[in-house]
């Protein structure tokens, strides 16, 4: 992959990369479409990265419908699909890991220790193998976007990180490869996340700027739904991930819940809500 990517760059082509773990859905399509519109070459990586899964997480059962994914990407006109085996990314002698620092210990990182070290390590390697000018990530995983931008800044990588708005089902549930795990009852409850975010975002638009009150509104809505356990509801600064004194446009309200053993996340950028 790397030789092909270097040849494209030498020929003057910009490469856009869309890193994924496969099980592609309309959210991924929007990343690819955006990449297609901004670059001469588009590479999609499909790699279920063992390093970002905790010991009790779903690495083994993570969906891997590769033939379906390939057909979908061919229809979208990508130039290359990079689908390496685990030992190409992590050969036996592989030793180095990226330490993402303190922003990886909050929100998702608090419940998933080591997750972002695994993400940044593989993203750094995928960037080296695919030589992108631009890389496309979904806004749903907003903490991931913040940490990938930090990686790019800290290591001086010549890659622009493009965050693409979340794509939703008609009932508001954010698209996610893990939605296939939801049973019919859980699937009915899942749009509560978006409803909770919308309620708080509307209150912000109406003038409420107290972070605790905004969090409380979302938490109240989630707590009213039986069968859904709240992990966190956090109003944070979109860059530092700390709670601001007052919510401002650009602050992010992020939520994570568990429906049985299935963890769902979602967020809204205040003042820019397009839920
Ligand atoms: O968002 C994902 O699918 C993964 O975290 C990524 C960026 C492909 C790294 O494995």
Assign residue 239 the CATH number of its domain: 3.30.1300.10
Q: What is the CATH number of the domain that holds 127?
A: 3.40.50.620
pTM beyond 0.95: yes
- What is the model's pLDDT at position 68? 98
Domain assignment present for 23: yes
* Alpha helix segments (H runs only) across 91-191: 108-111, 115-130, 142-155, 184-189
Domain assignment present for 192: yes
For atom 1 of ligand 1, the residue with the nearest CA is 20
The C-alpha atoms of residue 191 and residue 173 are separated, in whole angstroms, by 5
Contact between 63 and 177 under an 8 Å Cβ cutoff? The reply is yes
Contact between 35 and 18 under an 8 Å Cβ cutoff? The reply is yes
The C-alpha atoms of residue 183 and residue 181 are separated, in whole angstroms, by 7
For atom 8 of ligand 1, the residue with the nearest CA is 20
Query: If you ran DSSP here, which 8-state letter would residue 156 be given?
Result: T
Indicate the pLDDT class of residue 274, thresholds 50, 70 and 90.
low
Summarize the confidence of residues 134-151 as an average pLDDT. 98
Residues 6+ apart with CB under 8 A from 95: none
Q: What separation in Å is there between the alpha carbon of 128 and the centre of ligand 1?
A: 15
Residues 15, 95 share a domain: yes
Residues 156, 32 share a domain: yes
Kindly report, residue by residue over 13-30, the tens digit of the pLDDT. Answer: 999 999 999 999 999 999
Residues 55, 131 share a domain: yes
Kindly report, residue by residue over 41-61, the tens digit of the pLDDT. Answer: 999 999 999 999 999 899 999
Ligand 1 atom with the smallest distance to the CA of 19 is 8
Does the pLDDT value for residue 275 go beyond 60? no
Residues 130, 106 share a domain: yes
Pairing of strands 15-20, 262-269: unpaired
Detail the DSSP E strand segments found in the chain: 15-20, 41-46, 80-82, 134-138, 160-164, 229-236, 252-259, 262-269
Q: Which domain holds residue 117?
A: 2-164
Residues 182, 119 share a domain: no
Kindly report, residue by residue over 225-245, the tens digit of the pLDDT. Answer: 998 999 999 999 999 999 999
Kindly report, residue by residue over 54-111, the tens digit of the pLDDT. Answer: 998 999 999 999 999 999 999 999 999 999 999 999 999 999 999 999 999 999 999 9
Residues 241, 137 share a domain: no
Pocket of ligand 1 (CB under 6 A): 19-21, 49, 52, 119, 122-123, 141, 144
Provide the number of structural domains found in the chain. 2
Does the pLDDT value for residue 273 go beyond 80? no
User: In 3-state terms, what secondary structure has residue 237?
Assistant: coil
Domain boundary among 120, 143, 164: 164
Domain assignment present for 170: no
Domain boundary among 164, 196, 224: 164
The C-alpha atoms of residue 44 and residue 6 are separated, in whole angstroms, by 16
Q: What separation in Å is there between the alpha carbon of 208 and the centre of ligand 1?
A: 34
Residues 181, 159 share a domain: no
Furthest-apart CA atoms within the chain: distance in Å: 57
Active-site positions? 28
For atom 5 of ligand 1, the residue with the nearest CA is 119
Total Cβ atoms within 10 A of residue 1: 17
Indicate the pLDDT class of residue 263, thresholds 50, 70 and 90.
very high
Residues 138, 34 share a domain: yes
Q: What separation in Å is there between the alpha carbon of 21 and the centre of ligand 1?
A: 6
Domain boundary among 132, 164, 196: 164
- What is the model's pLDDT at position 272? 81
To the nearest whole percent, how much of the chain has pLDDT over 70? 99
């Amino acid at each position: 992959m790397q030789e092909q990517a270097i040849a494209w760059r030498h020929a003057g082509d910009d490469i856009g990369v869309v890193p994924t773990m496969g099980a592609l859905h309309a959210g991924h399509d929007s990343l690819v479409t955006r990449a297609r519109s901004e670059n001469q070459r588009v590479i999609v990586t499909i790699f279920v990265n063992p390093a970002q899964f905790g010991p009790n997480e779903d690495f083994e059962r993570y969906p891997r419908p590769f033939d379906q994914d390939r057909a979908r990407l061919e229809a979208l006109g990508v130039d290359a699909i990079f689908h390496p085996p685990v030992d190409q990314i992590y050969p036996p002698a592989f030793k180095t890991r990226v330490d993402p620092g303190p922003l990886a210990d909050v929100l998702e990182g608090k419940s998933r220790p080591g997750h972002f070290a695994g993400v940044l390590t593989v993203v750094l390697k995928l960037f080296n193998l695919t030589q992108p000018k631009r890389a496309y990530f979904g806004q749903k995983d907003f903490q991931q976007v913040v940490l990938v931008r930090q990686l790019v800044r800290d290591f001086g990588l010549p890659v622009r990180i493009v965050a693409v708005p979340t794509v939703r089902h008609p009932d508001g549930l954010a698209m996610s490869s893990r939605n296939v795990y939801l049973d019919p009852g859980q699937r009915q409850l899942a749009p509560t996340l978006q409803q909770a975010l919308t309620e708080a975002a509307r209150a912000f638009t109406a003038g409420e700027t107290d972070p605790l009150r905004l969090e409380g509104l979302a938490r109240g809505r989630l707590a009213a739904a039986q069968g859904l356990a709240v992990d966190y509801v956090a109003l944070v600064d979109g860059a530092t991930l700390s709670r601001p004194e007052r919510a401002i446009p650009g602050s992010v309200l992020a939520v994570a819940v568990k429906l049985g053993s299935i963890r769902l996340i979602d967020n809204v950028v205040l003042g820019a809500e397009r839920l």
